[in-house]
Every structure is written in structure tokens, then in C-alpha cells.
């Protein structure tokens, strides 16, 4: 109350009393604020006179700027280089138009013979590996209102070829490409494990789409792929419900 009166009616106080009140006010308002770059920042008396809402807005702006700076530091990694053994394989097949599709984390739903499919969430796809005609085909449905499939050749990590079908599922929150038909045969030929990561590549032989699975994943790609596991797991659960 004394500090308020000294501001509203200073004529009732002597110069010495006003100086004492000012010192008390300075000590009272010297409160510890946010820590920025490991340095403690203190509010002045003017800062403390600002409203709580103003300080809250300033704090929010500072927090957002830090988050944006952090986001810039975790930019998506560029596509990995095609391993030499895969390059040689594709050359032997006279393959063209090689593209990196995604780093896929295998979940139980991908390893289930009952599901008989490998899912590739569109949100994780790294390149535009389909033609416009192929995209249009995947966006159509048959007379039973089921997604129309696109014939593809899938090469497993042992480079064995399987005739399969690529389909698109549109769900509530996202869309997924599913590789179906004969996926159980690939599971039997390979000892995939849950949470194992697989690089998926695409190429074309006489314009025919081929999908190539490779179990070698560079450490930096594997680490970056772990950031997407939670989102991908949610998509997997929704995909199982729709299938």
C-alpha cells in the first residue's frame, strides 16, 4: 500500500522516504525469470509492472522460436545411395528409373500371414515413384467397391521375384499403399523380425514397376526412421481395422 501511495501521492513523503521505498521496490521486484542459453535473466521493476498476460505471451513467443530452431536442426535426411550390389542387380535386369521409396519398420501386422500384406504409409513415402496413370488406377474401385490393384514384381532381399499387387487404402487420417498377394511366400522365404527396418526401392523394366526390398539400412537412416515409428504404429492399427 505504501508503494502505491508513494506513486499516486509522492507529495506526502520526504525525499529520504521516497528513496527508501524505491530501494524496497527494486529488491521486491527483482525476481528470477526464464533461463536462456544457461544464463539467468532477471525482470526489472518495469517488467514486473507488466501484466501476467503480457509476460505469458512473451514466454510463448520465446518458446516457439526455440522450437522452430530445433525443427530446422532435424531436417529429413536425403535419400541414401543405392548399394552397389543392388545397382549391379538392376543393371543385369536392364532396370531404369530407380527411386528410393521409404525406410519401412516391420510390425507384427506386416509379419502376419493372416494379413498377408506389407504396408507403406503415404506419409512416409520419399519419392513420387508412380506414374499418373498408375495413381489413377489405384484411386479406382471395382464393382464390389474394393480398391483396384496394380500388378508389380517384388524382389525380396535374396533377389527372388514374386508377382504381387499394389493397392491403396484410404483411411480416416491417412492413406496407405499395401503390397498384397503372395506376401506370405516372402515371409516364409525370409526371417524378418518385428521392428526390423527394410529399405524399399522401385525401378522399372520395360515400364513394368518393380519393388525391391533390402535389409541393409545405414545407421543414420535407421536412426531417422525411429522418429516415425509411433505415427506409423497408429497407421498400422487403423490399416488393420480397414482391411
pLDDT of residue 220: 62
Q: Is 216 left (phi over 0), alpha (psi -120 to 50) or beta?
A: beta
pLDDT, residue 222, reads 57
| Residue 162 CA, distance from chain mean position | 30
What is the CATH code for 84-242? 2.40.330.10
pLDDT in the model for residue 219: 72
Q: What is the pLDDT of residues 63-107, one digit of tens each?
A: 556 555 544 444 567 888 999 999 999 999 999 999 999 999 999
Where does the pLDDT of residue 27 fall: very low under 50, low under 70, confident under 90, or very high at 90 and above? Answer: low
Report angle CA 211, 214, 218 to the nearest 5 degrees: 130
**Exposure string for 62-93, b = 16+ CB within 10 A, e = fewer:** eeeeeeeeeeeeeeeeebbebeeebeebbeeb
The answer to whether 201 and 217 are in contact (CB under 8 A) is no
pLDDT of 140-189, one tens digit each? 999 899 999 999 999 999 999 999 999 999 988 889 999 999 999 999 99
Locate CATH 2.40.330.10 in the chain.
84-242
- By three-state DSSP, how is residue 116 classified? coil
pLDDT at residue 237 greater than cutoff 70? no
* Residues 29/43, Cβ–Cβ less than 8 Å: yes
Q: Does residue 233 have a pLDDT over 90?
A: no
Return left, alpha or beta for 182; rule: phi > 0 is left, psi -120 to 50 is alpha, else beta.
Answer: left
pTM above 0.75, yes or no: no
**Three-state secondary-structure class, residue 105:** strand
Task: Give the C-alpha separation, 51 to 15, whole Å.
Answer: 29
Q: What cell was used for 164?
A: 504381387
Predicted local confidence at residue 182, as pLDDT = 93
Residue 52 has pLDDT above 50, yes or no: yes
Between 144 and 11, whose confidence is greater?
144
Q: Is the pLDDT of residue 46 over 70?
A: no
Amino acid at each position: 500500500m505504501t508503494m502505491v501511495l508513494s506513486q499516486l501521492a509522492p507529495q506526502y513523503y520526504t525525499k529520504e522516504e521516497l528513496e527508501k521505498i524505491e530501494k524496497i521496490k527494486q529488491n521486491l521486484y527483482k525476481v528470477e525469470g526464464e533461463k536462456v542459453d544457461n544464463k539467468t535473466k532477471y525482470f526489472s521493476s518495469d517488467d514486473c509492472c507488466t501484466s501476467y498476460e503480457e509476460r505469458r505471451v512473451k514466454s510463448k513467443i520465446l518458446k516457439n522460436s526455440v522450437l522452430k530452431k530445433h525443427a530446422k536442426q532435424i531436417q529429413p535426411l536425403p535419400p541414401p545411395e543405392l548399394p552397389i550390389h543392388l545397382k549391379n542387380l538392376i543393371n543385369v535386369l536392364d532396370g531404369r528409373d530407380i527411386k528410393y521409396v521409404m525406410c519401412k519398420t516391420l510390425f507384427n501386422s506386416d509379419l502376419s500371414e493372416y494379413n498377408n500384406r506389407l504396408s507403406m504409409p503415404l506419409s512416409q513415402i520419399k519419392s513420387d515413384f508412380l506414374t499418373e496413370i498408375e495413381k489413377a488406377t489405384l484411386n479406382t474401385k471395382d464393382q464390389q467397391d474394393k480398391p483396384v490393384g496394380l500388378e508389380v514384381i517384388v524382389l525380396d532381399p535374396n533377389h527372388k521375384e514374386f508377382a504381387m499387387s499394389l493397392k491403396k487404402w484410404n483411411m480416416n487420417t491417412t492413406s496407405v499403399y499395401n503390397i498384397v498377394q503372395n506376401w506370405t511366400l516372402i515371409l516364409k522365404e525370409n526371417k524378418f523380425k518385428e521392428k526390423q527396418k527394410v529399405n524399399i526401392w522401385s525401378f522399372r523394366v520395360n515400364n513394368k514397376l518393380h519393388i525391391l526390398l533390402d535389409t541393409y539400412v545405414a545407421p543414420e537412416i535407421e536412426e531417422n526412421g525411429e522418429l516415425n515409428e509411433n505415427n506409423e504404429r497408429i497407421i498400422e492399427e487403423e490399416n488393420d481395422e480397414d482391411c
